[in-house]
Amino acid sequence: MSLDTHANPHHEHPDVVGSRNRLGVILILVADIAFALSILFVYFYLKGQNVNDMWLPKATEDTPAITPLSSLSSWYVTAIAAFGLLAHQFGLRGVRAANQTQLKLGGLVALVAALVATVYQNMQIANAPFTFYSGAYASCYYLITILNMVHLILTVFIAFGNWNRSRLGIYAHDHWHVDIVNIWWIWMTVSSLLGAFALSFA
């Protein structure tokens, strides 16, 4: 391999670093997307198979019949997540327009939305009228809602960091981090939507 050399300062331009970071996050999300799609596969596979007619077990002497839950609460969680996404994008537009106040406000509202969605998701899990032992539907229900809960907890962590860094004025000259957090928000909302969609077909 023949080559020339050129002087290159070790310091890289923020756009170079930013676009690299964005690609890295997208690739990590590829793994998370594969994970989420596998969960949907599990849900529809077990529902389709209905092995031993135990997708939704019928009543026995000891246990009542398992009936599918309304997916409405999952859609509520998705709606709150979508609201958080919109708030974050409002902040993102702010930082692109060099409006720090809009960035902070958007980040704060997004953080609150993430917290509310997390609490609501937790209530949905805690109030489910069945146990882990209650057949394949119940197992899948917990799997989907727990995955969403994990996503939401991560979102709270990220949204808090994003808001705190906005508050400290770190994003005054560089909005790459806010852009990348936006990618996470989009995926988190889509994954919540996929979960709600699946649970609508019990």
Partner 1 sequence: MTTLLNKTNKKALIERLNIFTAFALGALAAIVVWRLSLAFLPADSESAPLFTREDKITLLSMIAWFVGFMTGIGALIGPFRWVQGKDLTHEENMFYAGKDLGVKRYFRYTTDHKVVGIQYLVITMVIFGIGGILAMLIRTNLGTPGGGWIHPQAYNSIVGTHGIIMIVGTIIMVTGPFGNYIMPIMIGARDMAFPRLNALSFWLIVAAAIPLIWAQFIGGISTGWSAYNPLASQAPLGMNGYIMFICIFAISTMVAGANITTTVVRMRARGMTWNRTPIFIYGVVASVALALPAFPVFFLSQVMSGMDRALGTSFYNTALGGSGWLYENLFWIMGHPEVYVILIPAVAALMEMAPVFTRRPLFSFNVAVMGIAGICGLSVLVWAHHMYISGWAPLLNAPFMLTTELISVPTGMLFLVLVGTLWRGRLWMTVPTLSIFALLWNFMIGGITGIYLSDVPADAFLHGSMFVTAHFHYTLMGAGLTGAIAALIYWFPKMTGKMLNKRLSWIAFWLTQIGFNVAFIGMFFVGLQGQPRRVEAYADIFSKGNLITTIGAFTIMVGMLILLHAVISSWRSGVKAPMNPWHAKTLEWTVANPVPLENFEVLPTVTSDAYGYGRSK
Binding site residues, partner 1, CB under 8 A: 1-8, 10, 16, 19-21, 23-24, 27-28, 30-35, 38-39, 42, 45-46, 49-55, 57, 62, 131-133, 135-140, 142-143, 157, 160-161, 164-165, 167-168, 170
**Between residues 54 and 186, which has the closer beta carbon with respect to partner 1?**
54
CB of 167 to partner 1, least distance (A): 8
**Between residues 97 and 146, which has the closer beta carbon with respect to partner 1?**
146
**Between residues 38 and 200, which has the closer beta carbon with respect to partner 1?**
38
Token pair 């969403």 in the structure block, residue? 148
Q: Is 55 helix (H, G, I), strand (E, B) or coil?
A: coil
- Listed in sequence order, the residues at least 6 apart from 69 whose beta carbon sits closer than 8 Å to its beta carbon are 128, 129, 141, 199, 202
CB of 62 to partner 1, least distance (A): 8
The helix or strand, by DSSP H or E, that contains position 46, with its residue range, turns out to be helix 14-49
CB of 79 to partner 1, least distance (A): 26
CB of 145 to partner 1, least distance (A): 13
**Between residues 111 and 113, which has the closer beta carbon with respect to partner 1?**
111
Packing angle, helices 100-126 and 176-199, rounded to 10: 30
**Between residues 39 and 196, which has the closer beta carbon with respect to partner 1?**
39
Q: What is the DSSP string of 101-149?
A: HHHHHHHHHHHHHHHHHHHHHHHHHHT-SS-TTSHHHHHHHHHHHHHHH
CB of 32 to partner 1, least distance (A): 7
C-alpha gyration radius of the chain:
21
Token pair 């692109």 in the structure block, residue? 96
